[in-house]
Chains A and B, each alone.
Chain A
Amino acid sequence: MRPLPVADPGIPDDRSATRYLWWLGKQQLGTISLGVAFGIMWMVSGALLPIVLGNGIDAVAVQRDPEALAWWAGAFILLALVQTLSGVARHRNAVFNFLSGSFRTVQATIKRTNDLGATLPKRMATGEVVAIGASDTSHIGNALDITARFSGAVITVVTVAIILLSASLKLGLVVILGVPVALLIIGTLVKPMHQRQVAYRHQQGELTGRAVDIVSGLRVLRGIGGELVFSQRFREESQRLRESGVHAAKVTSLLEAAQMLVPGLFMTLVTWLGAREVIAGAITPGELVSFYGVAIFLVVPLRTFGEALDKFTRGHVAASRVLKVLRLQPEINDPLDPVPLPSIPATLVDVKSGLTIRPGIMTALVTDRPEDAAEIADRLGRYTDGEVTLGGVSLAEATRAAVRERILVSDNNSRLFTGVLREELDPRATGDEERIMEAIHTASAGEIIDALPEGLDAWVAERGREFSGGQQQRLRLARALMSDAPTLILVEPTSAVDAHTEARIASRLAGFRAGKTTLITTTSPLVLDQSAWVAYAEDGKVIAEGTHKELLASEPRYRAVVTREED
Chain B
Amino acid sequence: MARVALPIADGPEVRRYARQLMRLHARPMTAVVVLHGLAAVAGMGAPVLLGMIIDAVSSDEGAQLSTVDNIALGLAAFVVVQAVLTRFAAMASARMGERVLADLREDFVDRVLAIPLSTVERAGTGDLVTRTSRDVNQIAHSVRRGVPETLIAIVTIVLTAGALALFTPKLALPCLVGAPIIIFATRWYLRRATPAYLRENATNSELLDGLTETVEGARTTEAYGAGERRIARTMHDLKENYRAERATLRLRSIFWPMADMGFQIPVAATLLVGGWFFIEGWVTGGQVVTAVFLVQQLIEPVDRLLMWLDNLQVAGASLARLIGVSLVPDDRSPTGVKPTSEQLSATDVRYSYVDGRDVLHGVDLTIAPGERLAMVGPSGAGKSTLGRLLAGIDGPRVGEVTVGDAPLVELPLDELRGHVALVTQEHHIFLGTLRENLMLASPSASDAKLREALAAVAALDWVEDLPEGLDTVLGGGKHEVSPAQAQQLALARLVLADPHTLVLDEATSLIDPRAARDLERSLAAVLEGRTVIAIAHRLFSAHDADRVAVVEDGKIAELGSHHELVAANGSYAALWRSWQA
Contacts and interface: CB of A to CB of B under 8 A. Distances in A.
B356 interface: no
Contacts of A471: 379
Contact of A113 (B79, B214, B510, B517): B214
B224 A483 contact: yes
B136 A253 contact: no
A276 B239 CA distance: 60
B539 A499 contact: yes
A216 B50 CA distance: 62
Contacts of A194: none
B296 to A, nearest CB: 8
B50 A292 contact: yes
Contact of A218 (B101, B108, B115, B272): B115
Interface in A204-223: 204, 207-223
**Chain A binding surface, main DSSP class:** helix
Contacts of A231: 106, 109-110, 113
B378 A5 contact: no
Nearest to A471: B379
Best-surrounded residue of A61, A213, A214, A451 (most CB of chain B within 10 A): A61
B432 interface: yes
A268 interface: yes
A208 B136 contact: yes
A469 B289 contact: no
Interface string B220-238: 1111111101110111001
B219 A118 contact: yes
Contacts of A423: 229
B439 A226 contact: yes
Interface in B254-285: 256-257, 260-261, 264-265, 267-269, 271-272, 274-276, 278-279, 285
B376 interface: yes
B289 A57 contact: yes
B147 interface: no
Contact of A500 (B207, B257, B376, B475): B376
Nearest to B215: A129
Contacts of B120: 218-219, 222
A64 interface: yes
Contacts of A106: 207, 211, 234, 238
B334 interface: no
Interface string A525-567: 1101100000000000000000011001000000001001000
A238 to B, nearest CB: 5
A498 B133 CA distance: 36
B199 interface: no
B72 A275 contact: yes
Interface in B271-313: 271-272, 274-276, 278-279, 285, 288-289, 292-293, 296
A468 B132 CA distance: 23
A412 interface: yes
Contacts of B5: none
A51 interface: no
Given A252-B90, A412-B510, A118 B222 contact: yes
B91 A133 contact: no
Interface stretch (A19-27, A254-262, A386-394): A254-262
Interface in A362-414: 369-370, 381, 383, 401, 404-405, 408-410, 412-414
A110 B214 contact: yes
A126 B514 contact: no
Contacts of B475: 213
A334 interface: no
B372 interface: no
A468 B426 CA distance: 11
A501 B261 contact: no
A56 B82 CA distance: 29
A208 B132 contact: yes
Interface in B527-581: 536-540, 575, 578-581
A451 B1 CA distance: 10
A163 interface: no
Given A76-B267, A245-B98, A289 B54 contact: yes
A218 B441 CA distance: 13
B278 A95 contact: no
Interface string B410-444: 00011001000110101011111000100111110
A77 B264 contact: yes
Contacts of B494: 224
B451 interface: no
B440 A221 contact: yes
Interface stretch (A84-92, A149-157, A170-178, A306-314): A84-92
A61 B234 contact: no
A80 B441 contact: no
B215 A134 contact: no
A92 B253 contact: yes
B510 A401 contact: no
Contacts of A130: 208, 211-212, 215
A322 B554 CA distance: 54
Nearest to A267: B46
A120 interface: yes
A469 B427 CA distance: 14
A219 B391 CA distance: 13
B95 A428 contact: no
Interface in B347-404: 376-380
Interface stretch (A66-74, A180-188, A345-353, A435-443): A66-74
Contact of A80 (B53, B260, B537): B260
B500 interface: no
B443 to A, nearest CB: 6
A477 to B, nearest CB: 13
B443 A261 contact: no
Contacts of B124: 466
B216 interface: yes
A37 to B, nearest CB: 18
A69 B213 contact: no
B579 A133 contact: no
A511 interface: no
Interface in B501-526: 507-515, 517
Contacts of A419: 233
Nearest to A528: B581
Interface in B54-111: 54, 56-58, 62-63, 65, 68-69, 71-72, 75-76, 79-80, 82-84, 86-88, 90-91, 93-95, 97-99, 101-102, 105-106, 108-110
B2 to A, nearest CB: 10
A99 B106 CA distance: 37
B578 A5 contact: no
Interface stretch (A10-18, A335-343, A489-497, A512-520): A489-497
Contacts of B53: 271, 275, 288
Contacts of A344: none
Contacts of B82: 260, 264
Contacts of B321: none
A462 B115 CA distance: 23
Contacts of A57: 54, 271, 275, 285, 288-289, 292
Interface in A116-159: 116-121, 126, 129-130, 132-134
Nearest to A427: B226
Given A114-B227, A275-B53, A414-B223, A76 B271 contact: yes
Nearest to A240: B102
Contact of A242 (B56, B75, B99, B246): B99
Given A219-B426, A279-B68, A470-B508, 11 more contacts: A76-B267, A212-B133, A246-B95, A257-B87, A279-B57, A292-B293, A383-B219, A427-B229, A470-B379, A473-B510, A499-B537
12 contacts: A106-B211, A114-B231, A121-B216, A133-B212, A208-B133, A225-B417, A225-B442, A235-B106, A275-B63, A404-B223, A498-B536, A529-B581
